[in-house]
Amino acid sequence: METFRSFWSSLDREQRERDCAAMTADDVCHALAADELTPRDFLALLSPAAAPYLEAMAQRARELTTRYFGYAVNVFTPLYISDVCTNHCRYCGFNVNNKQKRTHLSVDEAVEEAMAIARQGFEDILLLTGEAPKLSSPEYIASVVRRIKPHFASIGIEVYSLSEEDYRLMVESGVNNMTMFQETYNPELYAWLHPAGPKSNYAWRLEAPERAARAGMRSLGFGALLGLDRMEHDGFATGMHAWWMQHNYPGTDIGVSIPRICNHVGDFAIPHELDDRRFVQYVCALRLFLPRATITCSSRESADMRNHLVSICVNRVSAGVSTAVGGRVHQTETPPQFDITDARDMRTMARDLEQRGFQIVLKDWEDPTLTNARKGA
Ligand code: SF4
């Protein structure tokens, strides 16, 4: 059976660069008028030829977002439960070479943090850990999930790549969505960025969403860390990954996250920094190519940028964010993974979006098995 890895490796990077550079205004207009975009249309919208059409792209993106999501914006919050990590990612403050104090919450502490989040009214929580499988084992994550499940409509994970069996454990425990950032879809660059540690296995990470889908995960999120490689490569690859999964695993919901790389502890120089205009071009192109996909924008972006993107194409945002471990009940001395730019809590987010005509949605799904558990919670 074809995998995304075999599909992606069959596409020629140099040919794509030539195709992208050769795109014309006609190609962009064709993509803007199409009901269903092909991968070539998507590439046209990412190309330099689309830059003068940003306003037209934004208008089309707004039409599609309104058609499929109305004026509703899903809101979630992340909870970091451990920053112990054995990986060497050159761009991350949690990498093993940064000799900083680390924090690993016990199951009880993680549950206390989650309860504080539930009391704020959040229904959608995202659990994050570094990659230290002995300490933050699948069983540890599952134990936290089982305990907090009665208090949340949706529990997501953004953790290291798991086996199909471990994804099944996550699903059985109450996880209904997973996000796997491939960081970059360029295997050579990936190898340089991840010189050691379990994450250095590019293929294992690339195939994680397929393992999760086979394990019954309801919703899958994709993303590259924008700024590592050029947009026509990693932006295109992210859209193609989501598109390929949508065609091959039609029973799953598909989402895309759009993180631009932030400064962190250390001296990593961002190789291909994405300016605001190119960033908005990318997100609009994603909406046109994947009209029904959830597009999530995190607090890495400013309040202004997030307000702007919600009015065009983003339909899921975080609020009340801490990127340090815990942060609601247990204050730790460890520095956060990255600096957030938008510190709005849920109330402020709701008020700001309401002023723009949007309504926040705290839950749009409830696990049927959860209903009874919540009654007894
Ligand atoms: S990006 Fe993730 S895996 Fe890499 S060092 Fe940071 S926490 Fe660890």
- Ordered by start, the domain boundaries in the chain are 4-375
Nearest Cα neighbor of 342 from 280, 259, 222 is 259
92 lines ligand 1 (CB under 6 A): yes
d(CA 40, CA 60): 18
Do 287 and 62 touch, CB atoms closer than 8 A?
A: no
CATH number for region 4-375: 3.20.20.70
95 lines ligand 1 (CB under 6 A): yes
DSSP per position, 231-262: IIIIIHHHHHHHHHHHHH-TTSEEEEE-PBP-
Question: Residue 226 carries which DSSP code?
Answer: B
- CA-CA-CA-CA torsion sign (159, 84, 109, 261): negative
The pLDDT score that the predictor gives to residue 219 is: 97
Q: What pTM did the predictor assign? A: 0.95
Q: From the CA of 269, how far away is ligand 1's center (Å)?
A: 17
Do 202 and 187 touch, CB atoms closer than 8 A?
A: yes
199 lines ligand 1 (CB under 6 A): yes
Residues lower than pLDDT 70 in the chain: 263-266, 333-339, 369-377
d(CA 83, CA 289): 35
Nearest CA to ligand 1 atom 5: 95
91 lines ligand 1 (CB under 6 A): no
89 lines ligand 1 (CB under 6 A): yes
158 lines ligand 1 (CB under 6 A): no
Residue of 83, 87, 136 to mutate, ligand 1, most atoms within 8 A of C-beta = 87
Q: Residue 260's CB: how many other CB atoms inside 10 A?
A: 20
The pLDDT score that the predictor gives to residue 135 is: 94
Nearest CA to ligand 1 atom 2: 130
Q: From the CA of 62, how far away is ligand 1's center (Å)?
A: 34
The pLDDT score that the predictor gives to residue 337 is: 63
Q: From the CA of 82, how far away is ligand 1's center (Å)?
A: 11
Nearest Cα neighbor of 70 from 360, 300, 304, 337 is 360
334 lines ligand 1 (CB under 6 A): no
The pLDDT score that the predictor gives to residue 324 is: 82
- Coil vs helix vs strand at 336: coil
